[in-house]
Amino acid sequence: MADALDKLELHILNKGSGPTFDTIRGGRRFSSCVDITTYSTDLLGKIGNWRLSGDVIGSDHRAILFELELGKAVGIDIKRTTRKFNTRKANWSEFHTKLAQLWQNKSLNVTSIKEIDSKIVL
């Protein structure tokens, strides 16, 4: 499960230790923490106050409540990585070919790169 969530770039929001599943069957009580709440990195810092509710009836599963901040999160430094892209599906030979063409078209070499002292937009 952790591997699948990692590949989907999802994080687990669950807080607390109360069971999300709680029922009585045949005079025996069954409970476990089987339900999870996940969120994407884009929502980091915008979700909070995760909790279980005992008010909802008609299900063996307890209602999961949380708050979502709809405004822009302030003061959160989210580090983006290449994990945003599935690099395993990249056509690396085509990438290398096109990169070599760009280097040749722009007359780039190690010496010219070392001489760059400002940002250049290609």
Phi first, then psi: what are they for 78, rounded to 5°? -95, 120
**pLDDT tens track for 41-52:** 888 888 888 888
Asked whether the CA dihedral 77, 78, 82, 85 is positive or negative, the reply is negative
Q: All domains of the chain, ordered by start, with CATH? A: 2-70+85-114 (3.60.10.10)
Which single residue is written with the structure tokens 């070392």? 114
Measure the CA–CA gap between 48 and 66, rounded to whole angstroms: 6
Average pLDDT over residues 5-31: 85
E-assigned strand segments in the chain: 10-12, 21-25, 28-32, 38-40, 47-53, 63-68
- Confidence class of residue 28 from pLDDT cuts 50, 70 and 90? very high
